[in-house]
Chain A
Amino acid sequence: QQPVQSPQAVILREGEDAVINCSSSKALYSVHWYRQKHGEAPVFLMILLKGGEQKGHDKISASFNEKKQQSSLYLTASQLSYSGTYFCGTDLLGGYQKVTFGTGTKLQVIP
């Protein structure tokens, strides 16, 4: 089942902060975050695991609320290079590689 992302789109000025949310109706093993720039392949940002472990980007932070099956990605002091579409992916199985992605949040940072 596809996770739900919000907002669908956001425009920020450089230096502003943003939060992107991802929620699932099912219990999660892990949440994955990727960013895709126009015309490019998605690039890994972060994985948050059940139990609190995190792997990924040191300039972007995220949280994972296991009880609510929700994750949030925090983009602080945004830069022009943050522009792109952010996808969250959820993994229900653990131990396997099946990540179901949401429809994405389009983020545009303007000067």
Chain B
Amino acid sequence: KAGVTQTPRYLIKTRGQQVTLSCSPISGHRSVSWYQQTPGQGLQFLFEYFSETQRNKGNFPGRFSGRQFSNSRSEMNVSTLELGDSALYLCASTVGQGGYNEQFFGPGTRLTVL
């Protein structure tokens, strides 16, 4: 079974620009969660989608948004980029039936904002 894939793997943007990251979950997984990882902050939850609906959201500003398509693929968008948005963005997929499922993480997208 193919794992979770994320594209692109690396991205360099400048302040004020916007960016879209993509995540393809494991086949059959309907839940996709997004995390921001920075040194010292660990993994910070951004949001989770299940069957095209956002079920949970973390404490991030409205500049961070996402969506999920009918094939469970998900995209995350960050508008008006700030220097502090530089981070590794990870997505994880699960079967989605209940809050007790193993998450499978993708390799991440490393975003650098200059």
Residue of A with least CB distance to B3: A41
Residues of A within 8 A of B58 (CB): 100
Residue of A with least CB distance to B105: A41
C-alpha spacing A93/B55, complex, angstroms: 11
C-alpha spacing A2/B59, complex, angstroms: 11
Q: How large is the interface on B (under 10, 10 to 19, 20 to 34, 35 or more residues)?
A: 20 to 34
Q: Are A96 and B99 in contact (CB under 8 A)?
A: yes
C-alpha spacing A93/B92, complex, angstroms: 18
C-alpha spacing A56/B88, complex, angstroms: 26
Q: Are A98 and B43 in contact (CB under 8 A)?
A: no
Contact with B along A27-60 (1 / 0, CB 8 A): 0011010100000111110010100010110000
Q: Which of B13-21, B33-41, B68-76 is the interface stretch?
A: B33-41
Residues of A within 8 A of B106 (CB): 41
User: Which residues of chain B have a CB within 8 Å of any CB of chain A?
Assistant: 4, 31, 33, 35, 40-45, 48, 50, 55-56, 58, 90, 92, 94, 96, 98-108
> What are 21 A-B contacts with C-beta separation under 8 Å?
A29-B100, A30-B99, A34-B103, A41-B4, A42-B105, A47-B102, A55-B102, A87-B42, A89-B43, A91-B100, A94-B98, A94-B99, A96-B55, A97-B56, A97-B99, A97-B103, A98-B45, A98-B55, A98-B99, A101-B42, A101-B43
A-B complex: 5 closest residue pairs judged by Cβ atoms: A41-B105, A98-B56, A103-B42, A101-B43, A44-B102
